[in-house]
Amino acid sequence: AQSVTQPDIHITVSEGASLELRCNYSYGATPYLFWYVQSPGQGLQLLLKYFSGDTLVQGIKGFEAEFKRSQSSFNLRKPSVHWSDAAEYFCAVGDYNYQLIWGAGTKLIIKP
Amino acid sequence: KAGVTQTPRYLIKTRGQQVTLSCSPISGHRSVSWYQQTPGQGLQFLFEYFSETQRNKGNFPGRFSGRQFSNSRSEMNVSTLELGDSALYLCASMVGGTDTQYFGPGTRLTVL
């Protein structure tokens, strides 16, 4: 069965430090992969996506992610976080039945 | 281009009542999906509609139903509400195929 694992429920990072959020997936075919961000009480905003091609994808707000097929991973990175990046981040796989399969989310806390 | 809109944003109902939530997709998008988000279960897929036809359905009881109109607007209905139906209900639209889903702000349903 398809699944997405985000092993870190919470991550605390100092403002200005680098960030990496982990995502592992289990999917039989070539996956469509997404990262979304959710601020408290809000909907989900798309950060970036991978469909095919270059395995390093750039997104909005200075985020990037790298698809590694051999490790079934799609980790999200940012070189320097800002206080406004505090939110919950979700990794998702899009399957061929038009649904997104979600990870449990990682809550990012920024230390001043 | 306007984003996905959902109405109402907040709703309070009592057990046993029914509720209808509405979603207007991005102009030109013909697919609408619905997701339920709760602290315990995370994000779960409810169903997806394309051109007024349900293409896929998640693992929810028959009390949860939906429909899509010819203008691509969608409604979901929950009958005989239970306390456990309290959640953020998110609607997403996409152009049509397996593509990027864009989310609305959600409807926060509280069942008392």
Average pLDDT over residues A67-78: 96
Q: In the A/B pair of chains, how many CB contacts fall below 8 A?
A: 56
> How far apart are the C-alpha atoms of B97 and A74, rounded to whole Å?
22
Smallest Cβ distance to A46: which of B42, B43, B100? B100
Which parts of chain B have pLDDT scores under 50?
none
Confidence category of residue A31, pLDDT binned at 50, 70, 90: confident
Is the predicted pLDDT of residue A86 greater than 80, yes or no? yes
**pLDDT at res. B69:** 97
Chain B interface test: which of A60, A95, A99, A107 (most B C-beta within 10 Å) = A99
Q: Give the one of A32, A44, A98 whose C-beta lies nearest to B55's C-beta.
A: A98
What distance in Å separates the CA atoms of residue B49 and residue B17, rounded to the nearest whole number?
25
B101 and A41: CB-CB below 8 Å? Answer: no
